Chains A and B, each alone.
Chain A
Amino acid sequence: MRVDHAIRTRLLISVSQRVIANAEELTALDRAIGDGDHGINMRRGFEAVLTDVETLSAKTLGDALKGVGTTLVMKVGGASGPLYGTLFMALGKSLTEEITREAVADAFGQAIEAVKLRGKSDVGHKTMLDVLAPVHAVICAGGDDLPARLRATAQAAAQSTIPMKAIRGRASFLGERSVGHMDPGARSSALIIDAVADVMEGTA
């Protein structure tokens, strides 16, 4: 399919608005096991994306994604800036206007590897990767009702970080005490996937 100007605009707006609308929840999650700024930081970043939405969506899909990445790196502050920045920049590097499920699966896989390197982290460490990896598996498998399954997978994957013990990031200082709380980065990743699924289903 072709990700045209209208779809690019809807994607950027949907994702930004979802993160901004849930900023308080993200901050509350981060207060439990981090430094309580994830929502504030992510809101600052995606507000900057919204401000630039016309310029960004006028670019090709790859350049728009890279532009979102750069904006997040510069505006978010905190470790989530470079981590989400890296995710979007890596996606932008390999995605072109005409996308196929295979191309997205490929790009998403490369982006996950880039995030792993940036955060020196891996799946199972109670991070955003614990949402992105299962979502990637769903994209790779394909099939019917893809948006609904992406949504459900991301949601369940974020929940699955609750019993995990943090290995990376601020939460790792808490060790066992990080158990019992959802990872804020996993939650923000699930929100972003959910907002993309809305656009895929034509409801945003």
Chain B
Amino acid sequence: MSANVGIVIVSHSADVARGTASMVEQMVGREVPLGWCGGDPDGGLGTNVEAILKAIEAAWSESGVAILVDLGGAETNSEMAIEMLPAARRERVVVCNAPIVEGAVMAATEAASGATLDAVRRTAEELTPR
């Protein structure tokens, strides 16, 4: 295991996704592979599978990819995208149950230390109230 886990940000809004990605880059640095997407295919609010697949590709790491999402449809579309990945990759992508901005920064911080996908996900999910 050498490569850092990748982080993907999936928001309904391209602005939120872009802004969150830029927070990750500025606070954590560029050693974590990063992908983001937001908006529907027409440029309105929404999420879509095609864009999520591209973001996963952009952030791909042999150590896996952790996805942070905002509202319901982002999660459903991310899960659909994971299912459409080649079988060898499917097992190495997870959706984190965490707030998108804080989760992305915390997950990236953990990922930058070379942590496993499981540890990255746990760190992000510690932010979720139980």
Within 8 A of B (CB), among A63-104: 73-79, 81-83, 85-86
Nearest CB in chain A: distance from B75 CB, A: 8
Interface of A is mostly: helix
Query: Bound state CA distance, A81 and B40, in angstroms?
Result: 11
Within 8 A of A (CB), among B41-61: 41-42, 44-50
Segment from A36-44, A141-149, A156-164, A175-183 that makes contact with B: A36-44
Within 8 A of B (CB), among A150-203: 168-170
Size of the B side of the interface (Cβ < 8 Å), in residues, is: 19
Query: Bound state CA distance, A35 and B13, in angstroms?
Result: 13
Within 8 A of B (CB), among A85-136: 85-86, 118-119
Q: Given A41-B40, A85-B80, A170-B71, verify A78-B46 contact (CB < 8 Å).
A: yes
Residues of A within 8 A of B77 (CB): 77-79, 81-82
Q: Does B86 contact A (CB under 8 A)?
A: no
Query: Bound state CA distance, A40 and B39, in angstroms?
Result: 13
Q: Is the CB of A74 within 8 A of B72?
A: no
Q: Is the CB of A82 within 8 A of B79?
A: yes
Nearest CB in chain A: distance from B74 CB, A: 8
Q: Does B85 contact A (CB under 8 A)?
A: no
Nearest CB in chain B: distance from A203 CB, A: 33
Which A residue's beta carbon lies closest to that of B71?
A170
Most chain B beta carbons < 10 A, residue from A74, A75, A76, A78: A78
Q: Given A82-B80, A85-B80, verify A37-B46 contact (CB < 8 Å).
A: yes
Query: Bound state CA distance, A168 and B76, in angstroms?
Result: 12
Q: Given A79-B73, A170-B72, verify A118-B45 contact (CB < 8 Å).
A: no
Query: Bound state CA distance, A37 and B41, in angstroms?
Result: 12
Within 8 A of B (CB), among A1-54: 35, 37, 40-41, 44
Q: Does B84 contact A (CB under 8 A)?
A: yes
Residues of B within 8 A of A73 (CB): 49, 80, 84
Q: Is the CB of B45 within 8 A of A86?
A: no
Other than the given A75-B41, A77-B47, 17 more pairs (CB < 8 A) read A35-B12, A35-B45, A37-B45, A73-B49, A73-B80, A73-B84, A74-B49, A74-B50, A75-B48, A77-B41, A77-B42, A77-B48, A78-B48, A78-B73, A118-B80, A168-B72, A170-B72
A residues whose Cβ falls under 8 Å from a Cβ of B: 35, 37, 40-41, 44, 73-79, 81-83, 85-86, 118-119, 168-170
The 5 closest A-B pairs by CB, nearest first: A77-B40, A79-B73, A82-B80, A77-B48, A77-B46
